[in-house]
Chains A and B, each alone.
Chain A
């Protein structure tokens, strides 16, 4: 029993990481109708930037010296550094749309998706080049000492897990309100539904797309900064995360922020529970989430919460 509960808690923590990245993927999908394969690497880049903001100048982390001299009060406290990284993430996202996506034109989603794959490789190389292959540990924004946990049925529920979920839920609610109840959200939905007509009703399509990319990358940066406290940040971290996050987003339904949360939870739990009980070797830990994804898609091709398109002909 104790082991079961502990595995659930572990799954919940990983699930939160996948869910937050999945939410970023869903946001891009809602705003542009595209999948951004570079989402994980953009997030990782921002994670490193948060690290630069909050490390002291003599920490040996590239960039802290030069950037530190520009920032008042550097090194920054954790929350300020995370806020800074989220803002950098927003700018990075908007820049990607402005500089890489827009010149490709509107009619070529395949080319745009390919560019995001290129961006994945590029950013990964950049991070490796600038910060090296070493894993970095990251101060957690939540209390994360040996005793910072609740003891439930003998299992440890860490404050960090709860903290990450709390932030995630706030993000989800805010995003839900933005997409469903605001004019900006209506514009996002209109653009993905019919771009020509959106243009014709006066929606500033370019501005909306930049905003969508910015918000998604900001959420990714938040995700990377939050998990940075619990895992070791290294250049390969996000490759695997992205696969899980894609599975999570697919399970939940690519256009549903709420679905991304459930998808993340399902992926996290299946990853922590199935190998332990079914004897799947840990090298195959990627397997259970993907099996879960296939099973969901077999019965609900648009995911658990995805919108099923209805169009009369």
Chain B
């Protein structure tokens, strides 16, 4: 059996007195797109934050990236291991130019020439970003900022991309484009993804597998197709 890109065991997390995650176990295999569904407050964002060992969260449990335990590593070295996190609500650097946002995304890399090539590559994928090259990220529209946040994450050439509600606050047409892009990134570039999403329909369409979080526990797990047809999921998330 191959080592999964990400393995999470017994993950528990709390904010002060409030328990948010109660023992999560899941994995994301190489090349997979895995989606985490769940209502507001079920612990989706906390899961992603705990994986990156971000401050604010108190978490315990084991996080393994490619079989290496990174539970106690700091965020910087986790990123250096090939994780990239697009936080909820854009997560760009509003005062920095679009170009500098991409440059800082490559902070852990040292191959200057390849970095420039990658910038060109994402500019080709999102031409609007190229037009906004010297504009500050704060002056971009919501959709443009989301594209920038995703490209910035890709600048670190991640093995595993963590996406926290990429569709939040975007127009339906932009969401569709964005998810098309994710799908292409996965099939063409082989980027493994863990997507947290409320827009279950779209997310399940591009995902291989999914987990449903309820009150900090995994309530359901399975193939995307199976989840899509599950009556409970349909009722709660697909509005059928």
Contact = CB atoms under 8 A, between A and B. Distances in A.
A284 interface: no
B104 A190 contact: yes
B93 interface: yes
A201 B108 contact: yes
A240 interface: no
B76 interface: yes
A200 B138 contact: no
A25 B108 CA distance: 29
A196 interface: yes
Interface in A231-290: none
Interface string A189-202: 11011101111111
Interface residues of B, number: 31
Interface stretch (B94-102, B183-191, B193-201, B206-214): B94-102
A311 interface: yes
Contacts of B96: 186, 189-190, 193
Contacts of B77: 202
A197 B79 CA distance: 12
B92 A201 contact: no
Interface in B20-47: none
B229 interface: no
Contact of B107 (A183, A196, A312): A183
A300 B152 CA distance: 33
B80 A200 contact: no
A202 B54 contact: no
Given A200-B54, A201-B152, A187 B94 contact: no
Given A106-B55, A183-B107, A202 B80 contact: yes
A193 B94 contact: yes
Contacts of A311: 94, 138-139
Given A199-B54, A200-B54, A309 B91 contact: no
A310 interface: yes
B166 interface: no
Contacts of B17: none
A59 B51 CA distance: 60
B138 A312 contact: yes
Interface in A69-100: none
A200 B52 contact: yes
A199 B93 CA distance: 12
A201 B107 contact: yes
A137 interface: no
Interface in A134-155: none
A257 to B, nearest CB: 16
A204 B76 CA distance: 6
Nearest to B162: A200
Nearest to A311: B138
B87 A309 contact: no
A201 B94 contact: no
Contacts of B104: 186-187, 190, 198, 201, 203
Which of B85, B91, B107, B136 neighbours the largest number of chain A CB atoms within 10 Å of its CB?
Answer: B107
Contacts of A193: 93-96
B73 to A, nearest CB: 11
A174 to B, nearest CB: 20
Interface string A287-313: 000000000000000000001011110
A217 to B, nearest CB: 24
A273 B55 CA distance: 52
A312 B108 CA distance: 29
A202 B79 contact: yes
Contacts of A183: 107
Nearest to B95: A193
B102 to A, nearest CB: 10
Contact of A200 (B85, B141, B142): B85
A238 B138 CA distance: 38
A180 to B, nearest CB: 10
Contacts of A309: 94-95, 138
Nearest to A201: B107
A202 B140 contact: no
B55 A201 contact: no
A312 B148 CA distance: 15
B144 to A, nearest CB: 9
A189 B99 CA distance: 13
A201 B54 CA distance: 12
- Give the top 9 A-B pairs by smallest Cβ distance, nearest first: A202-B79, A311-B138, A193-B93, A202-B108, A193-B95, A202-B76, A310-B139, A197-B91, A190-B104
19 contacts: A183-B107, A186-B103, A186-B104, A190-B107, A192-B95, A193-B93, A196-B91, A198-B104, A200-B52, A201-B84, A201-B104, A202-B108, A204-B76, A310-B136, A311-B138, A311-B139, A312-B138, A312-B140, A312-B141
Interface of B: 52, 54-55, 75-77, 79-80, 84-85, 87, 91-96, 100, 103-105, 107-108, 136, 138-142, 152, 156
Given A183-B107, A200-B52, A200-B85, 8 more contacts: A186-B104, A197-B91, A199-B75, A202-B156, A203-B104, A307-B95, A309-B94, A310-B136
